Structures are given as C-alpha cells and as structure tokens.
Amino acid sequence: MVTIKPPNLWQFINLQHEKILLAVIAQIELVLLVMAIVTVTGVLTGMLVWKRLTLVEAVTGFWSVVYTIPSLAMLVFFIGPFGLGWLPATIALVLYGQLPVVRNTIVGLRSVDPAIMESAAAMGMKRFTVLRKIQFPLAWPVIIVGIRVSCMLVFGLSTIAAYVGGPGLGDYVFSGLAELGSFNSMNKTLVGSLGITIIALLFDAGFVGLKRITTPKGLRIG
C-alpha cells in the first residue's frame, strides 16, 4: 500500500502561491483601510475633547467598554445588519482600534506645557494655529504610539474576522485548525499564522521609521 505524504510547508506555499498572495494583499488592504479610518476618527475625537475632563472621561469610558466586548461576539453581532464579508469585519475592527488612538491623542495634547501655548497666544497666534503648529507636533510622538498599538491590535483581531467572511490570512488559520489532523491542515495553519505575524512585524517596523521621520528632531530620543 502506497502512503501519500502531505507536502511540506514550502511545497504547499509553492502550490498555493497565487491564492496565498491574494490573501496577503487582502490582509494588507483590510488593515490599511481600518487604520486610515481609526487614525482620522480617533485623532479628531481626541482633539475635540482633550480640554474638557468630563468629555475625556465619557469618551474614554465609552471606548473602554467597547474594548471589553468579546471580539467574536462583536463580529457576530454585525452579521445580522451587514451580512458576511468586508463590511462587518471593517466596522468591528474600527471600533476595537479606537481606544489606543483616542487615549494617546488626549494624553499627548494634555501633556504639552500650557506655558508654551500661552506664549504662542501672546505672540498673536490663533488657537487653531497654536494647535496645528505647536501643540499637535509636540504631542505627535505620543499619538503615533497609540496608532502603532492600535495597528497591532487590529492585526490580531483581523484573524478572528475570518469567522464572518473577513478577508485576509485568517481563513487559513481557522480552516487549518478545523481540519487538524487531515491533509495539509498544519500547512494552512502555519501559512496563516506566520503570514500575519510577518506582515504585522513589517508594519511595526514601518511605524518605528515613520515616528522617527515625522517627529521633530528636538523631540527624538536617541
């Protein structure tokens, strides 16, 4: 009786390279879309509420509650109104990614020395100009850390989004686990988990470079 051995990981990747590449592209597109929305909405929210402690507590409290909702429950909740696919996955990931960005935007803006802003105002600069040219650049190193943390969080949760038909490499992870012990199950799981890990590390390295490029020289550490 001839025993057919399953292909090793590299053979599996070679056989499935076109499908894997499409999943990688979808994974990157999903994270980029989610982080674009999270960054814009999170930073704007922080800029709108940072001055008022009551609003700060209300907004951060709300996003903290959202953050505590189990991710699978959140994803399943959106199946009803939005069905399967990109939309429920994107909405759920955007909601989960808000807290680090909003919180760090508020912390960054509130950490700027009021004397600096008062001096700028005394020189005739308008409030928005002070925020745009002085306060926001000084707060940026803290804000981008929040965006970076949010991005890594989104990568982790995007794997679970495969349960609702979300795009990316998560489908390889869960289809492999569901078929554990069968032909190619381990290869599928490894392709999905290693692929997401590698892409996440590349994104994280990109944030390190982006922070250095966009942070004023006087605020850089090292």
In angstroms, the CA 193 to CA 177 distance is 11
pLDDT digits (tens, 9 = 90+) for 52-110: 889 999 999 999 999 898 888 888 888 877 777 788 889 999 999 999 999 999 999 99
The domain 17-216 is classified under which CATH number: 3.10.150.10, 1.10.3720.10, 3.20.20.70, 3.90.550.10? 1.10.3720.10
Average pLDDT over the chain, rounded to an integer: 86
* Terminal alpha carbon distance of the chain: 65
Spatial distance between the Cα atoms of 185 and 174, rounded to a whole number of angstroms: 9
Q: Which amino acid is at 166?
A: G
Q: How many residues does the chain have?
A: 222
CA distances from 127 to 123, 124, 170 (A): 11, 9, 46
Q: What is the pTM of this model?
A: 0.87
- Look at residue 150 in the predicted model and tell me its pLDDT: 95
Helices within the chain (DSSP H only):
9-15, 17-49, 53-68, 71-77, 79-82, 86-110, 114-122, 127-130, 136-160, 170-178, 185-214
Cβ pair 116, 138 in contact under 8 A: yes
Q: 174 or 18: which carries more pLDDT confidence?
A: 18
**What residue spans define the domains of the chain?**
17-216
Which one of 10-14, 27-31, 66-70, 122-126 scores highest in mean pLDDT? 27-31
